[in-house]
Structure 1
Amino acid sequence: MSTPPTKAILFLGATGGVALSTLRRCLSAGYSCIALCRNPATLSNLLSSSSGPSDAALPSNLTIVQGNAHSASSLAACLVHPNDPTRLVDAVIFSIGAKPTLSGIDDPHVCEKGMSALLEALRAVRAGEANPSGKPRLVAVSSTGVGTLGRELPWAMVPMYKLLLGQAHKDKRAMESLVVEAGKKGEVEWTIIRGSLYTDGPATEGKVRAGWEDPVAGTRGQVPIGYTISREDVGKWVFEKCVEGEGDGREWVGKVAVLTY
């Protein structure tokens, strides 16, 4: 009996802190990882700086594809399992976002456009001649302050979020709506990650608190209220709970995970 191919995971926004943290852990676990990047050298440099000499070879289980996460055609080329063309990738880690500028953010619809392109690409690949099987697990990184079912922020942070992050959060809400609708149609199995204010700190042990919301049922569990969480810790949580969790983290399928310290 042949051994089934290892799990394949597509990373969008892999040069950002959350996805990069998850990617490093997936590579170490031996999963087949694909990263779509506008500038592959940026990701290569980030991985090299964390793992050894700058001229060290990249992991053999990593494929970096040059392309734009807003291009459905670029995305379609990355959605098929690299070792089994009859299957879609097992998971997609979606962590693209806008960059702040002096006048606001550089693209006020970056997340919405990226998610629209991803879902368009997924439909196109499924409708193609190869018609690969599978339903990818979609993990989409969002932010606290986006939810509508209850408070996620300390009161002291509410004015700052509204003033500085209003447009970015509008984009995140649009992205989240696309994810939830795709789940209702049976196109993906999803988990949305809402971390509190992201920092560049290290991973911690035992400090992350997690709560949940179910936007389809309109219910929520005990949602923790906190100020910050490191991108490294969020990526670690995604790896442990959504990639390697018991039953592939099915506890969090169809849920919004709210993470903070």
Structure 2
Amino acid sequence: MTTSTATQFIAFFGATGGCTNACLVHTLKAGFFATALARTPSKLTDMLLAQGLEKSIIDTQLTIVKGDIADLLAIKSVLTNNNTFESTAADSVQIASQIISGIGGTPQMRMSLSKPMTIDNPEICATTTKNIIQALQEIYSAHPSTTQHKPSIAVISTTGVSDVREDVPFGFRTFYHVGLAVPHRDKKEMERLVSENASSTGVFRGAVIVRPSLLKGDQSVKSGKGWQKLKVGKEDKPAVGFTVHRADVGQWICEQVVKTGGESYFGQKVTLTN
């Protein structure tokens, strides 16, 4: 599966997950080109076909790179549409215009009153972000002209991690602040890394941090209520609610970040809820 290296494209990490998969479906349906990292490419292809995408769209608009978030070479291939090492010429490499990252771990319960829930990889979000940053730094070093076209990044975080305003309903606060303390620590570190590297001297030209409330449903774009029905807030005035559908979060990211470039949300921590 290949796309034209002369065409702008959007890089996806975590595309076999709910919100990000839904965003990728809407992105491809809108006619954009994309790349995606997947440990099992056939799994991602099957998910997209199950979403109703035509195989011709997948074949012509999407490049799937086999690998995981620990594989820097695979990450660089996603960020450059497999073009990083095809030539040493500085102008031969095109970098993604946007990065969408929704990497997450699998929740696991444990016998602990203070921290009853963890995830299979408790640092997966921070590790992914660090590796994306390192990959971009290496691309910029090898191909200096790419620094003129730095990508923006949108990451999927969560409510319950704000140091500014409480954004979780009262009835959920113990669950969020005690039960989810371990995965939320990872989300906060991811947010810190993204924010620190979204500046004139950083690797990203801008960043949007998306904080959905408790996610429900799967990635099926037919099962959501629609992105326009979401309540949207920012960190100093969050939208507070109990749950939000994964498909709606993915569609919102496509409509408000992918299609527009996301500039109006750069530097913001956007809360989404039903």
> TM-score, normalized by length of structure 2?
0.84
Aligned equivalent of 1:193, options 179, 190, 210: 210
Q: Equivalent residue for 2:246?
A: 231
Aligned equivalent of 1:96, options 91, 99, 103: 103
1:208 aligns with 2:226: no
Aligned equivalent of 2:196, options 166, 174, 181: 181
Q: Percent identity between the aligned chains?
A: 30
CA distance in 2, matches of 1:18, 1:233: 8
CA distance in 2, matches of 1:19, 1:66: 17
CA distance in 2, matches of 1:80, 1:105: 30
Q: 1:5-154 counterparts in 2 under 5 A?
A: 5-51=6-52, 56=55, 58-80=58-80, 85-103=92-110, 104-129=118-143, 131-132=145-146, 133-154=148-169
Deviations 1:13-51 (A, max 9, x none): 000011111101111122111010111121111111121
Q: Which runs of 5+ in 2 are unaligned?
A: 84-90, 111-117
CA distance in 1, matches of 2:53, 2:66: 23
2:131 aligned counterpart, secondary structure: helix
Deviations 1:95-150 (A, max 9, x none): 00111124331011000110000000000000004642411010010000011101
Query: Following TM superposition, where does structure 1 have runs of at least 4 consecutive aligned residues deviating by more than 4 angstroms?
Result: 81-84
CA distance in 2, matches of 1:142, 1:85: 34
Taking structure 1 as reference, are residues 257 and 52 closer, same or farther at Cα in structure 2, changes over 3 Å only?
closer
CA distance in 2, matches of 1:136, 1:45: 28
Offset, 1:59: 3.7
Q: Equivalent residue for 1:167?
A: 182
Taking structure 1 as reference, are residues 78 and 28 closer, same or farther at Cα in structure 2, changes over 3 Å only?
same
CA distance in 2, matches of 1:60, 1:239: 19
CA RMSD of aligned residues (A): 2.0
Q: Which runs of 5+ in 1 are unaligned?
A: 214-219
Taking structure 1 as reference, are residues 129 and 238 closer, same or farther at Cα in structure 2, changes over 3 Å only?
closer
Letter in 2 for 1:10: A
Letter in 2 for 1:75: I
Structure richer in helix, relative to its length? 2
**Corresponding pairs, count:** 247
**Given that residues 8 and 82 in structure 1 are in contact (C-alpha distance below 8 angstroms), is that contact kept between their aligned partners in structure 2?**
no
Offset, 1:52: 6.6
**Given that residues 6 and 94 in structure 2 are in contact (C-alpha distance below 8 angstroms), is that contact kept between their aligned partners in structure 1?**
no
CA distance in 2, matches of 1:69, 1:207: 33
Letter in 1 for 2:246: R
CA distance in 1, matches of 2:212, 2:139: 31
2:150 aligned counterpart, secondary structure: coil
Offset, 1:164: 2.4
CA distance in 1, matches of 2:266, 2:73: 27
CA distance in 2, matches of 1:116, 1:95: 14
CA distance in 2, matches of 1:227, 1:166: 18
> TM-score, normalized by length of structure 1?
0.88
